[in-house]
A and B are shown apart, each in its own frame.
Chain A
Amino acid sequence: QVQLHEPGPALVEPSETLSLTCSVSGHSISSDYYWGWIRQPPGKGLEWIGYVYHSGSTRYNPSLKSRVTISVDTSKNQFSLHLSSVTAADAAVYYCARDRVDYYMDVWGKGTRVTVS
């Protein structure tokens, strides 16, 4: 049974880079799925950030593209999110998820709360 594990709460200073890693268990990250990130600011809705394929190819939300990098480490069965130049607007719960080629996310991690301060 596939499970996704994000780290515990994170605190990032304004203008710094947010880095999160999602560990995948019960499933090879090299299978035919994308591996993505979604975020949810406090009291607000969901925002898709982007995904990475095991080959390293990526796709990002245009609104975040200039600041986002998503990478994959197949040897560790992990993928990572890096968001640069963070501001208070980037404070949110960040979820990692398995993203399917037919455009939806079928398995989600429990989420990591990120505070910018």
Chain B
Amino acid sequence: QSVLTQPPSVSGAPGQRVTIFCTGISSNIGAGYDVHWYQQLPGTAPKLLIYGNNNRPSGVPDRFSGSKSGASASLAISGLQAEDEADYYCQSYDTSLTARVFGGGTKLTVL
């Protein structure tokens, strides 16, 4: 069982906007630690998508955005494209575990 909670799956039609939520507790996201997001395309390694709650690395389209509030965070993807179909993972730091922790991952299906 993962420390951070994500929905197993979400879906949307091309052009639509979807949001993936990530819920933590007082020892991780709720303690003020940043949330980061990774995209894992089928058969490939994870790729950093959002860091520090809402920052995009160079090359990541501005269709991807992140936010954080309290002990939760979210990743929004607007203008869905077929190439966005992937698994998405949130990640933070847990001060009780003294470890980086991940969500269980959310599979995005583009209908």
Instruction: List chain A positions with a Cβ less than 8 A from chain B.
Output: 38, 45-48, 59, 61-62, 95, 99, 102-111
Contact = CB atoms under 8 A, between A and B. Distances in A.
A103 B103 contact: no
A53 to B, nearest CB: 15
Nearest to B106: A45
B65 interface: no
16 contacts: A38-B46, A46-B102, A46-B105, A48-B102, A102-B51, A103-B36, A103-B93, A103-B100, A104-B34, A104-B36, A104-B52, A104-B100, A106-B48, A109-B45, A110-B44, A111-B45
Given A109-B45, A111-B45, A45 B104 contact: yes
A102 B46 contact: no
Contacts of A109: 45
B74 interface: no
A47 B47 contact: no
Contacts of A106: 48, 51, 57
A48 B105 contact: no
B45 A105 contact: no
Contacts of A107: 48
Contact of B99 (A45, A48, A102, A108): A48
Contact of B48 (A45, A61, A95, A105): A105
What 9 pairs across the A-B complex have the smallest Cβ distances? A104-B36, A103-B93, A48-B100, A45-B105, A46-B102, A108-B45, A45-B104, A61-B99, A106-B48
Interface of B: 2, 33-34, 36, 38, 44-48, 51-52, 57, 89, 91-93, 97-105
Nearest to B93: A103
Contacts of A61: 97, 99
A109 B46 CA distance: 9
Given A45-B105, A48-B99, A61-B99, 10 more contacts: A46-B89, A46-B91, A47-B102, A62-B99, A95-B45, A99-B100, A103-B36, A103-B92, A106-B48, A108-B47
Nearest to A104: B36
B97 A102 contact: no
Contacts of B98: 59, 62
